[in-house]
Chains A and B, each alone.
Chain A
Amino acid sequence: MFILDDLLFRPFVGIVDALHTIALDEMYDVEGLEAELKENQLLYELGERSEAEYRRRKDELEAELETAREVHEQLSSGRVEVKK
């Protein structure tokens, strides 16, 4: 992940910690992804989205959501740190 690596190796302190957390929050937006999953389901049920498109999107979003949840778990456990 380019942006993450970039932030990790930049030699700033303090403010970078905060920016880093904000950046991760935005990149791994659990609530946003959950909403997109619901929207995908709804548009499929209403017949606007084909079954193939629905399944493709669902798999994609579920994978992103799993990653996002892992990142948040690691953030809250302090296992992700900014190197100084």
Chain B
Amino acid sequence: MNNRYVYGVVESDTVEFETDAVAGADRVYTISHRRLGAVVSDIDTTDPEETDEDAQIHDDVLREIMAYDDGTTVVPMQFGMAFESDRALKNVLRGARPAFRRAMSDIEGKIELGLKLVREEDADVDREAIEADVADRLEPIAAQSVENDLFSDRLVLNRSYLVGEDEREAFDDAVANFEEDHDELMIQYTGPFAPYSFVDVKIGAKQ
């Protein structure tokens, strides 16, 4: 277990707790360089396999980090970032420092929420009108949003929203109201997640 699996980067060096971590590890802790900390667990590979179970654990650990110490801002990493050594990881923290700081300020105090609208099997829907209605109701509350892949022809809309924690309730209400007005749609409203879709820091894996 000499390698380090990374969940995300925080502005702290004290995040540490016991939990079910990726690849069977049982605690996460912080490796830091000048107050930027990578939250990691030990692992014995630099190329972890993405099983459904470990992908779920990765998400769960990120949520625990977000809730840590009454709320911690974390720049989330995608599944699969593992480093050979502490030294390699610290080099990345040093090199990508400005990018991490920028990402941190973009997402501070915010969460990601997901919205998928799926038309009922026989429903005939006006996609443009639905898109416009969603935008009218949700965009004013969200800080940012991004469109995701429409991987099925049943999907009418698939978006992720970056929402301030203090706007969460207003956003929930707006989604609930939308749902009441649209019998022709099934709605999958998910989150909160760490704001994956709104950070663009890719750290070199397998270093």
Residues of A bordering B, CB below 8 Å:
34-36, 38-39, 42-43, 45-46, 48
Contacts and interface: CB of A to CB of B under 8 A. Distances in A.
A11 B123 CA distance: 49
Contacts of A39: 151-152, 154-155
Contacts of B116: 42
A63 B59 CA distance: 27
Given A35-B151, A35-B152, A42 B188 contact: yes
Nearest to B121: A48
Interface string B154-173: 11000000000000000000
Nearest to B158: A42
Interface of B: 116, 118, 121, 149, 151-152, 154-155, 186, 188
B186 A46 contact: yes
A45 B188 contact: yes
A40 B186 CA distance: 15
B152 A38 contact: yes
A60 B121 CA distance: 22
19 contacts: A34-B151, A35-B151, A38-B151, A38-B152, A39-B151, A39-B152, A39-B154, A39-B155, A42-B152, A42-B154, A42-B155, A42-B188, A43-B118, A43-B154, A45-B188, A46-B118, A46-B186, A46-B188, A48-B121
A54 B152 CA distance: 16
A35 B116 CA distance: 15
A42 B186 CA distance: 11
A42 B154 CA distance: 10
A48 B151 contact: no
Which of B151, B186, B188 counts the most A-chain CB atoms under 10 A from its CB?
B151
Contacts of A45: 188
B158 to A, nearest CB: 9
Nearest to A37: B151
A38 B116 CA distance: 12
Given A42-B116, A42-B118, A48 B186 contact: yes
- Interchain residue pairs A-B with the least CB separation, the first 3: A39-B152, A35-B151, A38-B151
